[in-house]
Amino acid sequence: MTSSTGRKVTANIALTLDGRYNGPGGPGDIGSIVRYATTEVARDHLTRIWEGATTALLGRLNAEGFLGYWPMVAEDENADPRDRGYAKWLVDTEKVVFSTTLTEAPWERTRVVNAPAADVVTELKAGGEGDILVNTSPSVLKALLSADLVDRLYLLICPEIVGGGQRLFEDGLPGSMWKLAHQETGALGEMAMVYDRVR
């Protein structure tokens, strides 16, 4: 699909070595990821993720979870400047939350949509400027990977095998090629990688 604005769709997510974004305990089982999220490499990676983005796409669960955490970081003068930069960006940027149950927006500068992610992204790409970031929201990211609408992937690979939990890359995705644009390895063995879609 082409667009007149050239807006890129980017996405960030942290995965274990066995490709999971949570452990066998379900969505809240993220201990195998959390310990790597505050490393120097992870924090620098976080800054790269949001710098060019002007719109954040979120699933309902992430939107509600982020609302309980990031606005406080944005106000905390003692927070790591990289965390605070991301938090301020998230609070201030345009946000689109995908939900079938929410009736009103949980944040300012937010609209709730109950529509296929591919349709919403096609509409967003037709106007505006800046990257459209799928912000750690696997349900939205999976839908856009299925529609081959993702242009850049920011992955944080955490060096643990959890043996159960939800996977990002499930069977049935269309085949695609990606080019490594950036790679960094941290002291704990975590790897921050940026992949661009080859079209």
Domains of the chain and CATH, by start:
11-198 (3.40.430.10)
pLDDT value at residue 19: 96
User: Contact at 8 Å (CB) between 198 and 179?
Assistant: yes
Axis crossing angle, helix 81-92 with helix 40-51, rounded to the nearest 10: 30
Q: Quickly state the pLDDT bin for 1 (edges 50, 70, 90).
A: very low
Tokens found for residue 12: 């960030």
Local structure of 124: helix, strand or coil: helix
Q: Does position 2 have pLDDT exceeding 50, yes or no? A: no
Local structure of 38: helix, strand or coil: coil
pLDDT value at residue 179: 98
Single-letter amino acid code for the residue at 177: M
Cα separation, 156 vs 165, whole angstroms: 17
Tens-place pLDDT, residues 7-42: 999 999 999 999 999 999 998 899 999 999 999 999
User: Contact at 8 Å (CB) between 124 and 55?
Assistant: yes
Q: Does position 3 have pLDDT exceeding 60, yes or no? A: no
Cα separation, 45 vs 99, whole angstroms: 28
How high is the mean pLDDT of the chain?
A: 94
Least confident of 77-91, 100-114, 149-163, 175-189: 100-114
Residue written as token pair 């995908």: 98
Of the chain, the percentage scoring pLDDT greater than 90 comes to: 89
Tens-place pLDDT, residues 92-115: 999 999 999 998 888 899 999 999
Query: Which is nearest to 166 in space by CA: 3, 22, 2, 17?
Result: 22
pTM value? 0.93
Single-letter amino acid code for the residue at 56: A
Query: Which is nearest to 98 in space by CA: 38, 140, 152?
Result: 140
pLDDT value at residue 5: 67
Query: Which is nearest to 4 in space by CA: 98, 175, 127, 164?
Result: 127
pLDDT value at residue 67: 87
Local structure of 99: helix, strand or coil: coil
